[in-house]
Amino acid sequence: MESIRNIFCVGRNYRLHAEELGNEVPKSPFLFNKPTHALVEANGQEILLPGDRGAIHHEVEFVIHIARTYKKGMNVEDVVDRMALGIDFTLRDVQSELKKKGHPWLLAKGFLNSAVITAFRPFPGVEACRNIDFSLLKNGELVQKGYLRDMLFDLQTIIEFTSEHFGLGEGDIIYTGTPAGVGPVANGDRLTLNWGEEALGECTIKML
């Protein structure tokens, strides 16, 4: 996997996903980070995940790659050069305990191999992506499906918000949020990430 500088993730960016976990629907983008050590490409191999920290949930997401430093007034096509699909793995039991204590989510979101990603491909533009679905299959069964048009905060809003609060530059990537249907993975599960009818990446879960 090429050098990635920062991994930004948008939480609760699909209304039905926020509601399925009993979370308030946000009024502005809600972001967190993953360390670069979490990143792993889904190229058909086994991906190792911790099996002793409670349930691990899959969250499939549309991912954008930033080509240059964002400056005020730029649009999505000015700064995004490539796209991919990803899975934001979450230690759900750990996250629930962290929420109760008001603690950051890093332990639940930043563990090794928690940021799965497919190979990047050229970004065709916002309009070309709006009506193409992205989805996750588990052992051949559809478990999540979403469209960019259903995001609470669109790509332009996400880019502007991220730049304003954290800075945004070449080599950064943004996981833009997951649709409804998140659920647990188990040892041996085969996961396939689809863009429309095309499989962009696959991996098999290996619990340690």
Instruction: Say what the pLDDT of residue 19 is.
Output: 61
Spatial distance between the Cα atoms of 208 and 195, rounded to a whole number of angstroms: 30
End-to-end CA distance of the chain: 23
In the numeric block, which tokens belong to residue 113? 């191999």
Q: What is the pLDDT of residues 139-171, one digit of tens each?
A: 999 999 999 999 999 999 999 999 999 999 999
Band of the pLDDT at 22, cuts 50, 70, 90? low
CB 34 within 8 A of CB 40: no
Instruction: Say what the pLDDT of residue 32 is.
Output: 95
CA angle (176 as vertex; 146, 50 as ends), nearest 5: 90
**pTM over 0.75, yes/no:** yes
Where would I find the H helices in the chain?
15-20, 76-79, 92-101, 106-109, 126-130, 155-166
With 60 as the cut, is the pLDDT of residue 37 above it?
Answer: yes
Spatial distance between the Cα atoms of 86 and 100, rounded to a whole number of angstroms: 27
Instruction: Say what the pLDDT of residue 27 is.
Output: 81
Mean pLDDT of 111-116: 98
From 190, 208, 186, 199, select the one nearest 57 (Cα to Cα).
186
